[in-house]
Amino acid sequence: MDVDLTPKLAKQIYGGDGGSYHAWCPNELPMLKEGNIGAAKIALSKNGFALPRYSDSAKVAYVLQGCGFAGIVLPEKEEKVIAIKKGDAIALPFGVVTWWYNKDDTDLVVLFLGDTKTAHKAGSFTDMYLTGSNGIFTGFSTEFVSRAWDVEESVAKTLVSSQTAKGIVKLDAGFQMPEPKQANRDGMVLNCEEAPLDVDIKGGGKVVVLNIKNLPLVGEVGLGADLVRLDGSAMCSPGFSCDSALQVTYIVRGSGRVQVVGPDGKRVLEAHLKAGNLFIVPRFCVVSKIGDPDGMDWFSIITTPNPIFTHLAGKTSTWKALSPQVLQAAFKVPPDVEKLFSSKRSAEEIFFPPPN
């Protein structure tokens, strides 16, 4: 496998007083283009406002830091204003218009991961802004805008040209944005830090999985996702996605090591991970991670809404399903070695606490 899988940090694309937009470039992380995956994040300072936009890609948004408001307009639906906070995951299907606002002192940081199969550029998101210096209506003639909106041409010029910023602005401190409604979160948002755990291994780690059951909109996005919290010095079992899905992983907190093995038993990635890194595990490759003493958290998307994983260590692994004779023949070892191997990891699954 010749593709460079080295984890990368995002680079700033644009920004100003209100905040900044960062993205991972397919030229630096080739698996983005190869796998048709986009990755970006937005950071808003206090009173920062990300102007209304839509994208050429379906995405999952994950709030990495802070709290604020998000405005979401699904096609032919009314605007829903949602209060968002750290740990929230939001599915954003095709055609959705969004805006983002931070009202607090702490920066609001939101990660976006998505599928770029239908995007203008493979491996990159292209946002279409409704207003601003690069807003779509700057490309129409004043005649077309005034007729579309049924306003005088002078008013059309004012509406189109007054906002001179690009993408992100800083609002006046006293400006009142619409208030969110708690009911708007239902079916739109899942907080991964508060949701019931799908896996909880003492001393090992915890997992919350996003799927069509707990966040139905991920079915429209066509992606699954999970938040994994690996305890200090614990190990995540070697495993692979058995439904040909790609795994796109962003390190949220902490640090640790990762190894990925591809065809012919070749190690295609060995790296030390830190917060902010993004890396992609190719289809059918086997990945395993070991956390540093402070542990490691990551948020991943999987390019199917209901992913299935096969683990190669632990009580639910393939090895436990195979008969002793097959293990002896496959490993070419005597019965005593097979029995020793089979007796191990009979209680643990997925996550393994550090050795005593």
Give residues with Cβ within 8 angstroms of 307, minimum separation 6: 224, 241, 243, 245
pLDDT in tens, 39-76: 999 999 999 999 999 999 999 999 999 999 999 999 98
pLDDT at position 306, please? 76
pLDDT at position 1, please? 61
**Average pLDDT value for residue range 181-203:** 94
pLDDT at position 224, please? 87
To 10 degrees, what angle do helices 324-331 and 335-343 make? 110
pLDDT in tens, 305-324: 777 889 999 999 999 999 99
Spatial distance between the Cα atoms of 227 and 355, rounded to a whole number of angstroms: 24
pLDDT in tens, 270-283: 999 999 999 999 99
Spatial distance between the Cα atoms of 217 and 211, rounded to a whole number of angstroms: 9
**Average pLDDT value for residue range 93-109:** 96
Transcribe 234-247 into DSSP letters: -EEEEEEETTS--E
Residue 218: pLDDT band (50, 70, 90) is: confident
Measure CA of the first residue to CA of the last residue in the chain; give whole Å: 37
Q: Is the pTM of this model over 0.75?
A: yes
Residue 243: pLDDT band (50, 70, 90) is: confident
The sign of the dihedral angle between the CA atoms of 275, 302, 77, 52 is positive
Instruction: Report phi then psi at 49, rounded to 5.
Output: -135, 115
Transcribe 211-225 into DSSP letters: -TTT-TTHHHHT-EE
**Given a cut of 90, is residue 292 above it in pLDDT?**
yes
174: part of which helix (H) or strand (E)?
none
